[in-house]
Amino acid sequence: MSYERVAIDELMINLNPLQTAGRASAAVRKAVARFSDGYSVCDRCEGVLHDIEKPDIKGFTAELAEFIGADRVAVTMGAREGKFAVMHSVANPGDTIVVDGNAHYTTFMAAQRAGLETFIVPGSGSPEYSIPPQGYAEAFEQCKSATGKLPALALLTHVDGSYGNLSDAAAVAKVCHDAGVPVVLNAAYSAGRMPVNARELGVDFIVASGHKSFGASGPVGFMGAVGEWADRLFRLSPTHPKKNIELLGCTARGSNIIALMTALPIVKKRILNWPAEVEKTRRFVEGMEKIGDIFQEGVKPKQHDLIRFDTPLYHRIGERHRKRGYFLSSELADRGITGLKPGQTKWFKVSTYGYSDAQIDYILASFAEIAEM
Amino acid sequence: MSYERVAIDELMINLNPLQTAGRASAAVRKAVARFSDGYSVCDRCEGVLHDIEKPDIKGFTAELAEFIGADRVAVTMGAREGKFAVMHSVANPGDTIVVDGNAHYTTFMAAQRAGLETFIVPGSGSPEYSIPPQGYAEAFEQCKSATGKLPALALLTHVDGSYGNLSDAAAVAKVCHDAGVPVVLNAAYSAGRMPVNARELGVDFIVASGHKSFGASGPVGFMGAVGEWADRLFRLSPTHPKKNIELLGCTARGSNIIALMTALPIVKKRILNWPAEVEKTRRFVEGMEKIGDIFQEGVKPKQHDLIRFDTPLYHRIGERHRKRGYFLSSELADRGITGLKPGQTKWFKVSTYGYSDAQIDYILASFAEIAEM
């Protein structure tokens, strides 16, 4: 029995923001194919995944820490797993965490799994939906009034998955530290696309996603800590002194770590191209808004490739089309474009990451053509 | 940059018990290659990994539950992750868990991560190191005396990774239920090699490893629950009602779930061959013990392919060899055989799983030849 990926999706331009920076390069695909067996990296292990020298996971771990600006890192199965590990290490059940209003749902899952109460820093609402750094100070005060103490941890979603807003991590980190609250940066949509340095930003913890933004076959990600918090996050077992409790000993014990290792040098090069990616996103926004009643939501101008459009134009067409709202994804599919939720016309999210100018022109022409229906 | 698997290991007969039942078939390798991109299974997701119909993860999940004899299952990143999820769902920090004396180190990691105290059911010691089901009743009494209450959970390692003993799960489950203690079966070394049915055995939870015993590229595994415990393990978020708290929403969101899906039909066939595998293991033990001072440890006759040998014969050779204890792995490598810890001669663990009779003869002849040195 063979499982076919929805084949047509593989041949299409996929605009889904989840997918654009997660496409695996030929190098990653080849590397993963060599390590397809279970425990494939463990032939020469002496007890700890991150210390394996053949393949050079040990060297890679040091390189990754330097790349992300952390004192120590560990590979995880993704950003959400890292978020839970951080929350579980820093806070106790019943404690509070302050998160931004655009946080990914997994931030709330991790908090609930860790038994934490959540206070939310409200966004600015329409049209920007931005997160004001000072909002953290207000949330801390709210928390102190309600619970009698400061939150155990704060979290900022560096780039959120709703509007693609790039928040001011350094400013938020400062507010948190002025109040004495440690802060974790969810860099799932930023690290791997643009330069991100935890130490420079002043955050205590950082989590990243390999399968979202590093073009790594996953699930795989990593987490890092700066300063004294590294000992807490990476604390060892009292009974099995080589084994890390939060990692349950070993995490990415197979081909996924090879994927991340192969992806890193490629990522180091591609993040240098980030300004061009942003420029392309802004050009795309301009082209889309020219078509008619299409409006980019979130902070303008764009500082990230994830775009949310409010699209009354397509909604109106859908109201009178025989295929109803499904006309849009159907027309796009006919043109070799996928990634929108079928049936969705009032608004949608797309990402332009990695597409050529010619492809961007084609996508714009397609949306323009469909708008004439 | 390309990462080479320790190439010689790929061409060798690898006796490492971690590896033998984790080798990915051609079908799994091909399937995984099609899904190498990040979030590759998520193109048609409506919010929950386990409900995706294209590819048919939903159908697979139902099939897997039926296969393992659970009311509900979820794919995880491996057995250890499942163990933590179960412990974290059933017990509170400060509670106690009773585990068998041959438990994998990750059982202790999961317990420590969940903040649980551990009581151990002692093994029978040399030469069998077996776990007496009645030992659980004694451990429960011990726990009640020490803490004032029964443990929150019991765990049995179905087949342990030290001696390859197959424990009587049904008997242990009965003892646990007679005492009112829920029990989780760690089937990492059993499910995928031999028929295992949680309901028939009478256990409440079961965890399995795809990369250890299903020939699935990982890291990937699954966990299941029977009866009322399913609701507890798979509890949903109060704020995001479709999302499962313990799974942080979604787990195997990439090629690893495709690997497990592709592996399942192959596993369903191969477990029918289990008696032949056991027969082969016993033949191998007989052949090894004939060579000289080599003794199979653990329960005899073998009921599983993981064998621990006490090997004074090789230790004596190592004492006078110029390569010291490293002579053994070196001589084996010259003969195309790997999997022992370099330097180890007093004892070692091997697995015969999946090798042909001709390969078994060859391995025996190699060990015999080396013994003449």
Q: ipTM value, please give it.
A: 0.92
pLDDT at B271 over 70: yes
**Pairing state between β A13-14 and A96-100:** unpaired
Instruction: Answer yes or no: are the C-beta atoms of A164 and A17 closer than 8 Å.
Output: yes
Position B6 scores a pLDDT of: 52
What residues does CATH 3.90.1150.10 cover in chain A?
A: 272-371
Name the nearest CA neighbour of A157 among A169, A173, A174: A169
Partner residues linked to A154 by β-bridges:
A98, A183
Position B11 scores a pLDDT of: 65
pLDDT single digits (tens) B19-31:
999 999 999 998 9
Mean pLDDT across the stretch A102-126? 97
pLDDT single digits (tens) A52-72:
998 999 999 999 999 999 999
Instruction: Name the CATH superfamily, with its identifier, for domain B272-371.
Output: Aspartate Aminotransferase, domain 1 (3.90.1150.10)
CA distances from A181 to A43, A344, B102, B244, B288 (A): 42, 40, 42, 29, 62
A240 vs B105, B239, B246: nearest CB: B105
Kindly provide the b/e burial profile for residues A250-282, where b requires at least 16 CB atoms within 10 angstroms of the residue's own CB. Answer: bbbbbbbbbbbbbbbebbeebbeebeebbebbb
pLDDT band at A5 (very low <50, low <70, confident <90, very high): low
pLDDT band at A262 (very low <50, low <70, confident <90, very high): very high
H or E element in which residue A14 lies = strand A13-14
Burial of B314 (0-12, 13-18, 19+ CB in 10 A): buried
Percent of chain B having pLDDT more than 90? Answer: 88
Tell me which chain B residues have a C-beta less than 8 angstroms from the C-beta of A107.
none
Mean pLDDT across the stretch A258-268? 96
A64 Cβ contact list (under 8 Å, min separation 6): A73, A75, A222, A224, A260, A264
pLDDT single digits (tens) A153-169:
999 999 999 999 999 99
State the pTM of this model.
0.94
Position A202 scores a pLDDT of: 98
What is d(CA A188, CA A203) in angstroms, rounded to the nearest whole number? 15
Indicate yes or no: CB of A243 within 8 angstroms of CB of B39. no
pLDDT at B7 over 90: no
CA distance B273 to chain A (A): 20
Q: Report helix, strand or coil for A315.
A: helix
Indicate yes or no: CB of B248 within 8 angstroms of CB of A113. yes
pLDDT at A3 over 60: no
What is the DSSP annotation of A184-223? EEE-TTTBTTB---HHHHT-SEEEEEHHHHS---SS-EEE
Mean pLDDT across the stretch A217-226? 94
Residue A323 identity (one-letter amino acid): K
Name the nearest CA neighbour of B100 among B139, B51, B50, B63: B139
Q: Where are the alpha helices (DSSP H) in B69-123?
A: 79-90, 105-113
Position A217 scores a pLDDT of: 87
Indicate yes or no: CB of A3 within 8 angstroms of CB of B34. yes
pLDDT at A2 over 70: no
Residue A134 identity (one-letter amino acid): Q
pLDDT band at A1 (very low <50, low <70, confident <90, very high): very low
Residues in chain A: 373
DSSP class of residue B72 equals E
pLDDT band at A43 (very low <50, low <70, confident <90, very high): confident
What is d(CA A159, CA A303) in angstroms, rounded to the nearest whole number? 9
Mean pLDDT across the stretch B302-331? 97
**Pairing state between β B295-297 and B306-310:** antiparallel
pLDDT at B37 over 60: yes
What is d(CA A122, CA A99) in angstroms, rounded to the nearest whole number? 9
pLDDT band at B2 (very low <50, low <70, confident <90, very high): very low
Tell me which chain B residues have a C-beta less than 8 angstroms from the C-beta of A254.
211, 217-219, 256
Position A6 scores a pLDDT of: 52
- Where is pLDDT greater, at B218 or A349? A349
What is the DSSP annotation of A213-247? HS---SS-EEEEE-TTHHHHHTPBPSSSTTSBTTT
Could you give the count of Cα atoms lying within 13 Å of B32 in the half-sphere of its Cβ?
37
pLDDT at B222 over 60: yes
Q: CATH second-level architecture of A26-270?
A: 3-Layer(aba) Sandwich (3.40)
H or E element in which residue A119 lies = strand A117-121
A254 vs B16, B33, B218: nearest CB: B218
pLDDT at A7 over 60: no
User: Which runs of E-coded beta strand occur in chain B?
Assistant: 13-14, 72-76, 96-100, 117-121, 153-157, 183-186, 205-209, 221-225, 295-297, 306-310, 337-338, 347-351
pLDDT single digits (tens) B128-159:
999 999 999 999 999 999 999 999 999 999 99
Percent of chain B having pLDDT more than 70? Answer: 97
pLDDT single digits (tens) A299-317:
999 999 999 999 999 999 9
Position B36 scores a pLDDT of: 85
Instruction: Answer yes or no: are the C-beta atoms of A91 and A112 closer than 8 Å.
Output: no
Residue A68 identity (one-letter amino acid): I
Q: Report helix, strand or coil for A150.
A: coil
pLDDT at B246 over 70: yes
CA distance A126 to chain B (A): 23
Q: Which of residues 229-248 of A touch B (CB under 8 A)?
A: 237-240, 243, 245-246, 248
Position B10 scores a pLDDT of: 62
Biggest alpha carbon–alpha carbon distance for chain A: 69
CA distance A199 to chain B (A): 27
Instruction: Answer yes or no: are the C-beta atoms of B148 and B117 closer than 8 Å.
Output: no
pLDDT single digits (tens) A116-172:
999 999 999 999 999 999 999 999 999 999 999 999 999 999 999 999 999 999 999
Burial of A322 (0-12, 13-18, 19+ CB in 10 A): exposed
Residue B184 identity (one-letter amino acid): V
pLDDT band at B253 (very low <50, low <70, confident <90, very high): confident
What is d(CA B267, CA A337) in angstroms, rounded to the nearest whole number? 38
Tell me which chain A residues have a C-beta less than 8 angstroms from the C-beta of B265.
1
A44 vs B6, B29, B33: nearest CB: B6
Instruction: Answer yes or no: are the C-beta atoms of A147 and A141 closer than 8 Å.
Output: no
CA distance A371 to chain B (A): 24
A243 vs B5, B105, B238: nearest CB: B105
What residues does CATH 3.40.640.10 cover in chain B?
A: 26-270
Position A66 scores a pLDDT of: 98
Tokens 């990462």 sit at which residue?
B3
CA distance A317 to chain B (A): 24
With both helix axes pointing from N to C terminus, report the angle between B255-270 and B26-34 in degrees, rounded to the nearest 10: 160
Mean pLDDT across the stretch A9-20? 85
Using a CB–CB cutoff of 8 Å, tell me whether A192 touches chain B: no
pLDDT single digits (tens) B341-352:
999 999 999 999
DSSP3 helix / strand / coil % (chain A, rounded to 5): 45, 15, 40
What is the DSSP annotation of B304-345? SSEEEEE-HHHHHHHHHSTTGGGHHHHHHHHTTEE-SPTT--
**Pairing state between β A72-76 and B96-100:** unpaired
CA distances from B360 to A19, A358, B309 (A): 46, 59, 16
Name the nearest CA neighbour of A136 among A169, A88, A90, A93: A169
Name the nearest CA neighbour of A133 among A162, A175, A93: A175
CA A358 to chain centre: 27
Q: Which of residues 331-370 of A touch B (CB under 8 A)?
A: 338
pLDDT single digits (tens) A191-210:
999 999 999 999 999 999 99
